[in-house]
Structure 1
Amino acid sequence: MTETRTHLHTVLTDLADVVGGVGDDQWRTRTPCSEFDVDALVDHVAGWSTTFATGYADPEGRAPGGPTAVEGDRAAAIRTAADRMDEALAAGAAQRPLSLGGAAMPGEMALSMILWEYQVHGWDLATALGRPWSPDPEGLEASLAFAPMMLTDDYQGEGKPFAARVPVAADAPALDRLVAISGRDPHWSA
């Protein structure tokens, strides 16, 4: 759990740097996450990171059922959420369930899901903007072990939350394999 926590904090602070570097002319740029342009994806990652931080910081593990509306500097909001979540996790918050609007999941499972989500959405955003994205290989391998448990047939494919898996070589880089299993083409370009 400590390693997952550390990987997540790094991914979120790296993501905040990417968000902070979005140029005025880039907000409507499309992303590999086909339902979001850059602006909508930034709203998504800032809002959900704030929601997850709220849940982990709450003594009962309760979070809102959806993304929190973030006004103002969304990069700063992601950094604040990263620090708040890290502090709560260091105090043992992953040992209790995380409840999102009434639906609860084990805290450690939620932590693995959040790491995976932000590794992939960080790639979505960085790729759309032509920026580098290189999460720690150990964290990527942990997400590669975790993601298939979440990406069942109920969640992946036409009309579902995740696009179908994209075939890649078994020896492809870990980040390519992770985005491909998450329904993105690792060779996507704007």
Structure 2
Amino acid sequence: MDNTTHTTRHIEIDYADGSPLAADDPRGAMARSMQAARAVIAHVDATNAENSTPCTEWNALQLAQHLVAVFERAAAGPTDQVIDDMAILADVAIDDLTDAALASARLVHANWSTDAAMTEPIDVPWGTLPGAAVIGVYAGETIVHTWDLAVAIGVDLNWPEADVAVHHEMSKIGIPESPRDEFMPFDPVVRPGADAPMIEHLVGWQGRDVDRWRVA
């Protein structure tokens, strides 16, 4: 389904949660990215579930299911679960998406509540990294896929700008501009105009066609 022209719905999110975490603690970034994702997931319904998305292999419903799965994978990090064995798409019906996203977000908060989780090595599909790096990557993945879902269903929102800027810099380090082949499954870098919002610079670095998908 070609849905590059959208009816825009704006979401205004209050990211001030009174968290005692330091400003640069990636658990805070993960919390804010999940806030954004949950707000967008709440707008997935029968009228837009089959919309195409920037992730060409998934429609809007599947992308929402993937976001829930990202939460579940993030929650598994400090546990004995093998993340590589976990599903890419959560087995969640459309009417249950909002509740599933909330439940898995709460599990993320619970499992990452101790500072020890930030230094322990964690096995993830892309290697073994300290917890702080792992939760930071999942925060970045969540915010990028939230943009994917938002533009697919015609939602506009305020983004956690400081987090997005950090994710952009980390993407430039972790996802080189070239080569991008079967070992680096990202489309070529897309550079929006200099005055484009930071979220478009982030998703453009990860190969999204921001001009095509920009919410009107």
Q: Shorter-chain TM-score: what band?
A: 0.7 to 0.9
Counterpart residue type for residue 91 of structure 1: T
**Residue pair 1:30, 1:36 contacting (<8 A) in 2 also:** yes
1:105 match: secondary structure:
strand
Partner residue in 2 for 1:144: 168
Question: 1:86-122: CA deviations, max 9, x gaps?
Answer: 2332312222122237942221111221111111100
1:186 pairs with 2:186? no
Partner residue in 2 for 1:65: 84
**What CA distance in whole angstroms lies between the structure 1 residues aligned with 2:126 and 2:206?**
26
1:22 match: secondary structure:
coil
1:54 pairs with 2:76? yes
Aligned match of 1:120 in 141, 144, 148? 144
- Greater radius of gyration (CA): 2
Note closer, same or farther for the CA distance 1:103–1:177 as it changes in structure 2 (3 Å cut). closer
**What CA distance in whole angstroms lies between the structure 1 residues aligned with 2:41 and 2:187?**
24
1:44 pairs with 2:63? no
1:91 pairs with 2:114? yes
1:78 pairs with 2:101? yes
Q: CA deviation at 1:171?
A: 4.2
List runs of 5+ in structure 1 lacking aligned partners. Answer: none
Note closer, same or farther for the CA distance 1:104–1:154 as it changes in structure 2 (3 Å cut). farther
Identity of aligned pairs, percent? 22
Note closer, same or farther for the CA distance 1:155–1:38 as it changes in structure 2 (3 Å cut). farther
Counterpart residue type for residue 72 of structure 2: T
Q: Which has the higher contact order (CA 8 A, sep 6+)?
A: 2
Note closer, same or farther for the CA distance 1:186–1:66 as it changes in structure 2 (3 Å cut). farther
1:133 pairs with 2:154? no
Q: CA deviation at 1:153?
A: 5.5
1:90 match: secondary structure:
coil
Q: With structure 1 as the length reference, what TM-score do the two structures score?
A: 0.84
Counterpart residue type for residue 9 of structure 1: A
Paired residues, number: 187
Q: CA deviation at 1:152?
A: 2.5
Counterpart residue type for residue 85 of structure 1: V
Q: CA deviation at 1:13?
A: 2.5
Note closer, same or farther for the CA distance 1:136–1:101 as it changes in structure 2 (3 Å cut). closer
Partner residue in 1 for 2:133: 109
Note closer, same or farther for the CA distance 1:20–1:148 as it changes in structure 2 (3 Å cut). same
Partner residue in 2 for 1:8: 30
**Residue pair 1:168, 1:177 contacting (<8 A) in 2 also:** yes
Question: 1:1-52: CA deviations, max 9, x gaps?
Answer: 8442122112212212211221212111001222221122122111221122
Question: 1:111-163: CA deviations, max 9, x gaps?
Answer: 22111111110000011110013321110111012111221367735784211
Q: Which moved more, 1:75-84 or 1:131-140?
A: 75-84
